[in-house]
Amino acid sequence: TLNQTTYLVNGELKEWKGSTSKVYSTISSTDTYKPTLLGSIPDMGEKEALEALDAATGAYNRGQGAWPTMLVKDRIGCMEVFVEKMKTKREEIVKLLMWEIGKSLPDSQKEFDRTVEYIYDTIEDYKQMDRDAAKFQKHDGVYAHIKRGPLGVVLCLGPYNYPLNETFALLIPAIIMGNTTIFKPAKHGVLLITPLIEAFKSSFPKGVVNILFGRGRAVAAPIMKTGKVDVLALIGNSKSANALMNQHPKSNRLRLVLGLEAKNPAIILPDADLSLTVEECLAGTLSFNGQRCTALKVVYAHENIVDGFNSQFAERVDALKFGNPWDDGVKLTPLPEPNKSDYIQELIDDALTKGAKILNKKGGKRFDNYIWPAVLYPVTKDMRVYQEEQFGPVIPIVPFSDIEEPLNDMAESNYGQQVSLFGKDVYAVAPLIDTLVNLVCRVNLNSSCQRGPDVYPFTGRKDSAQSTLSVHDALRSFSIRTFVAFKDN
């Protein structure tokens, strides 16, 4: 087992002497897919949380030479030291991603490599930002030297589906911009911080990065209550985000950087290329078992194409390979959340009682902690699988005869992240794009939804997001424009 016995506060790795929480793996060493004990983490509370907050506020306010006022090149230097150390931990972290959250080997490797690339790209972007800031402006006789500065103390909470990549997509730009941070890893995917904690300690000045373990309610809530957090950076669900925001006594002072739920639709027009659409929808709905905020979570298919789509799609779903993350060609892997299969089962049962059918033979079959993806058709608005963000292996298919039907549904939806539009006729597709970009933030033509490449803006409308992530945008999300002005006199 791997026991995390320390936590990082004020540049010190402190030994934890209190109670601990068990960490379970998603997969086991036997040939069943039942979770087994993997290790433990400290079960921290208010006392340590407030220590971390004091360390972060102290490091931010330490005056001249402190992290926020340090030369840009020196902050970049610290980040370069960190990324070099991180690179030596690739194998260990990839292994932990597979064991802890059941992510396939190629996807775990991709998560690691993408994170390293994200750090390098952020460094380059920050250098460019700094070069641009060196220029003076002059308007109406007033000179200005405008640059971007940090916001203060950032509380970072990442998600279990990208415990390294998305957590770092918050943390890295926050740190490099000169903010100080308190960071609590996700519930699943927490032990992969163990190989990195020493690198955080030795790469940054004390108090810049503070790492806590435990439940969000126990450590994040007391920090928020003090009103001393300047930025809440969270990727996860809106329930947790709202609960934390509401703890802050002056929430109007709080900057939010949030990546939350989505219900990204695929819209299949009658002339869509069927085999391409099937393959893209397969990846879009079921990569990492659909546990992605960018996953396609509802498929609208025109009535003239829906039968053809359904039969090919159902067959392809049943042909996917299930297994351990390191198995060759594996596409479906065990689920890290112990209750996820029961929840998916509830959605399926609800849809079946309201008139949908399971189109694929294996759909809904249970074994160990897994449920085989069910393709449900026809799905209607009264079904829970239509209304809720399933974040797991079940695919609702909704037929339509008029394009206004999916468009109206999207307009009424609480979410607005992305859409995938499948069709060949440019005269049908082009006018739709203008409508769709006003409903979501990214329109994917003849391809499934995704966050990357990470230089493109990643955000959403309505309840899906606040602020924008991506290499370029995250630096802006974690900073404010400040300037020195003087007159020509």
In angstroms, the CA 431 to CA 435 distance is: 7
Contact assessment for residue 474 and residue 468, using Cβ atoms and an 8 Å cutoff: yes
Q: Position of tokens 């002497």?
A: 17
Q: Does 6 bind ligand G3H (CB under 6 A)?
A: no
Q: Cβ 234 to ligand G3H, closest distance in Å? A: 13
> In angstroms, what is the minimal distance from the CB of 314 to ligand G3H?
24
Name the residue whose CB lies closest to ligand G3H.
Answer: 293
CB 386 within 8 A of CB 298: yes
For ligand G3H, the binding residue among 57, 310, 390, 450 (CB under 6 A) is 450
Residue 111: count other Cβ atoms within 10 Å of its Cβ. 24
Query: Quick one: 39 or 185, whose CB is closer to ligand G3H?
Result: 185
Q: Which is nearer to ligand G3H, 77 or 452 (CB)?
A: 452
How does strand 366-367 pair with strand 370-371? antiparallel
Smallest gap from Cβ 278 to ligand G3H, in A, equals 19
CA nearest to 44, candidates 94, 80, 74, 9: 9
> Does residue 123 contact residue 82 with C-beta atoms inside 8 Å?
no
Binding mask 404-443 for ligand G3H (x = CB under 6 A): ----------------------------------------
Q: Is residue 101 at the binding interface for ligand G3H, with CB under 6 A as the rule?
A: no
- Please report whether residue 452 would count as binding ligand G3H according to CB under 6 A: yes
The smaller minimum CB distance to ligand G3H, of residues 248 and 292, is found at 292
Does position 289 interact with ligand G3H (CB under 6 A)? The reply is: no
Give the CA count within 13 Å in the CB-facing half-sphere of 375: 23
d(CA 129, CA 180): 20
Neighbours of 317 (CB within 10 A): 26
Q: Any contact of residue 340 with ligand G3H (CB under 6 A)?
A: no
Residue of 23, 149, 164, 189 lying closest to 86 (CA atoms): 164
- Cβ closest to ligand G3H, residue 28 vs residue 448: 448
293 touching ligand G3H, by CB under 6 A: yes
Nearest to 478 by CA among 258, 238, 208: 258
Contact positions with ligand G3H (CB under 6 A) in 165-184? 166
Instruction: Identify which of residues 75 and 292 has a Cβ nearer to ligand G3H in the complex.
Output: 292
Binding of ligand G3H at residue 294 (CB under 6 A)? Answer: yes
Q: Contact positions toward ligand G3H, by CB under 6 A? A: 161-162, 166, 292-294, 450-452
